[in-house]
Chain A
Amino acid sequence: MGNGEVQTSIQSAVDIVTARQRGRAQAISLGFSGADVTLVAAAISEVARNIVDHAKEGEILMQPIEEAGRRGLQIVARDRGPGIADVARAMQYGYSTRRGLGVGLPGAKWLMDEFDIASTLGLGTTVTMRKWLPDSNETGHANGNGYGHAGHRPAAASAPA
């Protein structure tokens, strides 16, 4: 955790508040605008709720990242729950066990710049999402394949927001 990584264990609704608070604090210290800070908190709400509702427990890791001269915030939500049988379907518009638009994992994807999800039945789900500081790169978040070096880029449901 020497690189500023913050880990939050997620087991109940109370932990969602904690994760949001830590994410908000990191986003603010990185220099995100008020509106973007709110959207980061909203995205954390959705991935954290996904853990509470479907996996019972997991964790959220947040850390500042830097790549090709731009800076941003990376949020990884990891659980060892049942996994998602059909990731593509789960990411389809409007699909959410809680119903409603703009919520669930698709909602989180739309609020962030990059979103990756890897899920294995019986092993769990890992969501990796990033938001870049708008002025840290002229082209904004055009570079959607910044996951290559980490070697955990999943085969399915990967797209920049």
Chain B
Amino acid sequence: MSSPKSSLPITYLGALREYLARPDEENLEQAYELGRAAMSAGLGVFDIIRLHHQALSDGLLISGPSSADPRLVVALEIFLLEVLSPFEAAHRGFRTALERLEHVNGELNSRNEELATSNAQLQELSARVLTAQEEERKRISRELHDEIGQALTAVNVTVAMLKKQAGDNAAFQRKVAEAERLLAQSMETVHCFARELRPAMLDHLGVHAALRAHVNSYVRRTGLRVDLGTHADLARVQGQPAEVLFRIAQESLSNVFKHAQATRVKIDFASDGLNLSMEVADNGKAFAVEEKLGKRTGRLGLLGMQERVRLVNGKFMVESAPGQGTRVIVRVPLDAAAAASALSIPNSTTPNHHEENICVAG
């Protein structure tokens, strides 16, 4: 750093001359300091070799002693090594640092592999949980419909018989009418529960019919205005992707009712022939998506949606901005193979809680 690059040829030749004239430690130390300065100035080993040879051809071999002198050859080598030793130190330092880096890199790689493995395990677990949940809902839905529904129907028949037997007894007639009313209400609630848990329509009439029925019931119960669009490609969405679309619409509508303080919801569909996307947009108050989705404190609803969409290799997005409401966008593959779940278990999707509230709201 003390010697500018341009003065180094002269300095090198001068230092070498002095050393050859008086080969002592002081002049060797000068050579070492010259090497340090050259390195600090940004010179490389090649530059030093070039300086060395330039010094030989410029000065020494012409005016100096014969190059055949073996003592001169040794002295020249000692001088050159002295100048090069800072470079040797740096080189060894790099080598040590590189070995450590390689070691650390190896550890990082194995950590990454461990993480990838446990991540895959978590995803599989999550898929299993979602699948099991859906199966359970289906079972409960069926039980509700078949067992409780049938029992209530039987009670209804009995009540109808009692009604006939009541005759002119006005008090008795009133009691029977009250029982009939309660019974009808209970039957409606049971069927609503069964439908929310697992709409039979989804399997028999497709996702759009199931959504229309759900939206009609939702509008009746909540008083919100819902515009449900449609798309020809909806007919191609079946099985798991159909369940995902339905569950996400269901969960989104439930969220809008419970949290958004909105008055309108729009459900639209679009398709590019490979993927079908659905957008559920409301005009309510926004929320911080990142907080809900990214952090552990987030509500399970959005995370659950995300997991379900991943099960069918789809895409999931939530946008929320003050004054613009919230948009939930989900995209699922139309090709059944592309939508094949990681678990290849049919009928998986999820749940969610709050549907009860909507069922009893009416």
Q: 1/0 per position for B209-251, CB-CB distance to A under 8 A?
A: 0000000000000000000000000000000000000000000
Summarize B's interface: helix, strand, loop or mixed: helix
A interface residues, how many (CB within 8 angstroms): 26
Residue of A16, A35, A38, A45 most packed against chain B (CB within 10 A): A38
Given known pairs A42-B85, A102-B93, A107-B89, the reply for A17 and B1 (CB within 8 Å) is no
CA A98 to CA B88, docked complex, whole Å: 18
CA A101 to CA B39, docked complex, whole Å: 7
Are A42 and B86 interface neighbours, CB within 8 A?
yes
Q: Any chain A CB within 8 A of the CB of B299? A: no
Interface residues on B, range: 20 to 34
Point out the residues of chain A lying under 8 angstroms from B90, CB to CB: 101-102, 107, 110
Point out the residues of chain A lying under 8 angstroms from B26, CB to CB: 17
Point out the residues of chain A lying under 8 angstroms from B88, CB to CB: 39, 42, 102, 111
CA A93 to CA B93, docked complex, whole Å: 7
Q: Any chain B CB within 8 A of the CB of A81? A: no
Residue of B25, B78, B88 most packed against chain A (CB within 10 A): B25
Q: Any chain B CB within 8 A of the CB of A117? A: no
CA A103 to CA B87, docked complex, whole Å: 9
Summarize A's interface: helix, strand, loop or mixed: helix
CA A53 to CA B28, docked complex, whole Å: 20
Q: Any chain B CB within 8 A of the CB of A106? A: yes
B residues in contact (CB < 8 Å) with A = 1, 24-26, 28-29, 32, 36, 39-40, 77-78, 81-82, 85-93, 96-97
Can you add 12 more A-B contacts, CB < 8 Å, to A103-B86, A111-B88?
A24-B25, A34-B77, A34-B81, A41-B29, A41-B32, A42-B85, A101-B93, A110-B90, A110-B96, A111-B85, A111-B89, A161-B96
A residues in contact (CB < 8 Å) with B = 16-18, 20-21, 24, 34-35, 38-39, 41-42, 45, 93, 98-103, 106-108, 110-111, 161
